[in-house]
Structure 1
């Protein structure tokens, strides 16, 4: 039998020109660290976040009620994604790199660490709020450290609202469910901030060292809130010329803690988003546990809350315990194996890989 008979030609041969093109193998991104702060990019990122957020806040400078307007919470929750949007613009339009990799949203092999440090972050913030509340009562603000007043008054309020007498345990369960629901909903908005601050900005500021980087980030983050703080957000009853600069202190302390949580989770901003959510959503409820009807009038927001002096001290203590001060390797920008789209340009790399023999390369300066 002839060779042609053994291997007959196909009835409909595919023209060479119509053959499916072969995709090039994805390029592997090596571990990289910044050896200096890209200040121009940082400045552009900050400008974008400020402008975008100010656009969301601007209507409430003129609408009736200001921060009490019924649309304020919803609109500002969307506006909290301004840092994430700025990070997309920077990664895609300026740095020409993969956005998810750049901001630490690669999860393969990191889920356990992300989950563990998210829980630890929430617990740490809850502890800070509860301890600041205890200090508040110990320093003379009216309160009830047994929680009895909160339980009695709260149970009666729910009973009046429902028209049915409920047991105290039912009130506790209702509050627990409400607490978890508020934490989850607030985390969605907080993630928008954390993708920008801890995901994009923190790696850019790392060459400054951990403490100086947190100082710079704290100032940037605090002043970003100015469009809403100028109309009464945070520190109710406190003059704005005091409240706005004072807010820098808790933002520095939270930056130190939140950046540490991100580093612990391999560069992921998710644990810091949960901790951020805890700061925003747990405060009033946890302070309420040790409060009486006279607490609100006597409480000083510059001292007694998680954003007051006591809270700042406790946040710094939490950071001292949880931050990886002795880490020997800096967190890279995403997983080393994360593929970059074939169209991505290498013309504007985030950083160069440090020489292995460089003294001190790979250390995190505290």
Structure 2
């Protein structure tokens, strides 16, 4: 019988009881997270429901406060229930390396969501559900005229052409993405930062569907007041919002998984919000845009994201990146000695 070495630390066996306890704590943390993530928005938006709805003067502040609720729910779940050794890693805040990979996905986070928003417009025009005016920008011009008339200066002529104003609006989208980063992080810290990695144990497709559906239904307090879908009945508006969130959420999930960080997903969310209203720049005057059919919110706008997500699934782009191996014969390493692998996976040290 082998003699036990004095002073050696023996590993603690993983018993059925400890496994059950860990599993029970995880189920509890998910339950508390969902209860807070869905309950707090109704509490925050209560002034809208008791007051003037989306016309409430505090609507911008209330909407931003609502965006913070998933982050609050995730922080309670992590620090109040789970209490992991590396809590910020569990939320996707760290690691911030490899730096090159993180920067690459941050760049994609700005480009891809904006491209999806813009591509939805000509596709809607091809299907006849969105009328574009790329010459005179008549819809945008009419909107400016209405704003000037409301301010009592309806006869004032704009000092610069409307086309230049459109270009300035488009040029401001990347800046808007970064300005929206913190409010967007309030959502992404919960949805893609903390919840998505737990759902991935169910499989990639189920995780994408469930996390996207949860994100979509979370919008109910605002959607049922007419947000995004002004003319649609509540059930249809919430259904359309959930469908859009499943597809766009899958794109955010791809950025989260491949970068192993929540920051690209948060920046993508910020870029998406900055670009989402750009359909007003290109719409023809005199027609009301039905967002259940047109723009990224409507079914015609889902075609490109659906294809994009399908390509990501087929090419296995929802798999975590491979660990990075250091080259052999590094300084301080004996010649011919195998290099020790350095992993950038979630189990590595930040």
TM-score by length of 1: 0.72
Aligned CA RMSD, in angstroms, stands at 3.1
1:288 counterpart = 2:288: no
CA contact under 8 A between 1:91 and 1:99: conserved in structure 2? yes
Q: Is the 8 A contact 2:117 2:295 kept in 1?
A: yes
- Given that 1:253 and 1:312 are in contact with CA atoms closer than 8 Å, whether structure 2 keeps it comes out as yes
Please report how far the alpha carbon of residue 201 of structure 1 lies from its aligned counterpart in structure 2 after TM superposition: 0.0
How many matched pairs?
A: 299
Aligned residue among 55, 80, 93 for 2:80: 93
| Bigger Cα displacement from structure 2, 155-164 vs 75-84 | 155-164
Pick from 300, 313, 318: which aligns with 2:308?
A: 318
Deviates more, 1:255-264 or 1:112-121: 112-121
Which range moves more in the overlay, 244-253 or 327-336?
Answer: 327-336
Structure 2: any 5+ residue segments left out of the alignment? Answer: 1-21, 323-343
**Distance in 2 separating the partners of 1:255 and 1:46:** 17
Over alpha carbons, which structure has the higher Rg? 1
2:31 pairs with 1:48: no
Question: Which residue of structure 2 lines up, in the alignment, with residue 59 of structure 1?
Answer: 47
Which residue does 1:238 correspond to in 2? 232
- The 2-side partners of 1:128 and 1:235 are apart by 19
CA 1:82–1:224 in structure 2 vs 1: closer, same or farther (change >3 Å)?
same
Residue of structure 2 equivalent to 1:336: 348
Distance 1:243 1:272 in 2: 24
Q: Indicate yes or no: 2:68 matched with 1:81.
A: yes
Give yes or no for contact 2:130–2:294 (8 Å, CA) kept in 1.
no
Tell me: CA distance 1:232–1:141, structure 2 relative to 1, closer, same or farther (3 Å).
Answer: closer
Structure-2 separation of matches of 1:81 and 1:278 = 17
Alignment of 1:229-308 (within 5 A): 229-266=223-260, 268-285=261-278, 287-295=279-287, 297=288, 299-308=289-298
Against the structure 1 CA distance between its residues 48 and 143, is the aligned structure 2 distance closer, same or farther, given a 3 Å change threshold? same
2:188 to 191, 194, 217: 194
| Pick aligned residue for 2:57 from 70, 78, 83 | 70
Deviation at 1:108, TM superposition (A): 3.6
**In the TM superposition, what is the alpha-carbon distance from 1:70 to its structure 2 partner?**
2.1
Shift of the alpha carbon at 1:190? 0.9
Name the TM-score, length of structure 2 as normaliser: 0.75
